[in-house]
Amino acid sequence: MEPEERLMSKARKVIPGVDPKLLIKDAAKLLPNPARRLFLRGATSLGAITLLTGCDIVDEESAAKALLTISRFNDRVQALLFNPDKLAPTYPESAITRPFPFNGYYPEEDAPEVDGETYMLEVGGLVENKKPWTLEELYALPQEKQITRHVCVEGWSAIGSWTGTPLRDFLKRVGADLTAKYVWFQCAEGYSNTIDMPTALHPQTQMTFRFDNEILPRKYGFPMKIRIPTKLGFKNPKYVIGMHVLNQDLGGYWEDRGYNWFSGI
C-alpha cells in the first residue's frame, strides 16, 4: 500500500471547528529552521498552502495528504541539512533520567524475551561477510559509552547511558558496501526500520549491548539495540536480530504508518 493510501485509510472524521490552516501551521512548526521559517512565511493563506502542498484542504483527508507532503518536504530538507560530523550533545552521569522510560507499540510485559544463548545476529545484503554473529562474539567487539538524550515523538525525552560498538566500525568489519543507500534492521517481535547510510556511519550511531553499565535489560532491547542520538526514538530499533545493507528502502513499522522518514532532531 502507498503511504497516501495508508494515511487515508487511517484518516479520522472531520473534526468540526478544526481550522485546517492552523493544523498545517502546527505541522510546519515541526520543520527545522530555516525550512520552518520559509514554509510559514509562504503559508500565510489557505491559497498559498494549497499551492505549497498541491492539496486543496477541504476535509480531514486532504489535510492528511497535505501533512504527508509537509513531512516529505521535511525529509528532503533534513537530509540536506544533516551534517555527518555534527555530534548530538552528551551529558554527565548525574543527568541520567532514572527510571528511564520504556516504550514500544505494546505494554512492557509483552516485550520480547530473546534467549542470549541461542541468539544470532543475521547480517545480509551488500556485505562481504554474511556470517551470523553470536552474542559472545558481539560482546568481544571494542566498546564505548555515550550519555545522550532520547527524544520520542509521543512527547517525552530522557537522558540515558548506552555502551556498545560504533555501527560504522561493525559495518567496515563485515565488509559492508558503504556506498549503499540504507541499512534495514529487523527486530525479534516484528518491528523494523530503515536508516540512511550517512546516519549509519555517524560516529555516535551505536550497536548497543549495555544500558547504564549493565547488560541491556529486556525492556530496553536485550540483547542488542541500535542507538542513534541524532534521530527520534522510533528510529532506534530494539531486540535487533537482523541487519541488511541495501539500496532499496524497505521502510519500517512507524515509517509505514506515515511518520516522516528522516526524523532527525
* Residue 49 or 226 with smaller CB distance to ligand MTE: 226
152 forms part of the interface with ligand MTE (CB under 6 A): yes
Interface residue with ligand MTE among 20, 125, 229, 233 (CB under 6 A) is: 233
CB pairs under 8 A, 24+ apart, for 51-56?
53/24
Number of residues that bind ligand MTE (CB under 6 A): 17
187 forms part of the interface with ligand MTE (CB under 6 A): yes
Q: Which residues pair with 120 in a beta bridge?
A: 134
* Residue 234 or 261 with smaller CB distance to ligand MTE: 234
- Alpha helix positions (H), the chain: 3-10, 20-28, 35-42, 46-53, 60-81, 135-139, 167-173, 197-200
Return the one option of ligand MTE, Mo ion, none that residue 222 interacts with (CB less than 5 to 8 A, by type): none
Q: How far is it, in rounded angstroms, from Cα 146 to Cα 96? A: 11
Q: How does strand 120-125 pair with strand 240-246?
A: parallel
* Residue 52 or 241 with smaller CB distance to ligand MTE: 241
Please name the residues in contact with 41: beta carbons below 8 A apart, sequence gap of 6 or more.
none
Interface residue with ligand MTE among 34, 95, 105, 110 (CB under 6 A) is: 105
Interface positions with ligand MTE (CB under 6 A): 101-105, 152, 187, 189, 191, 219-220, 233-234, 236-239
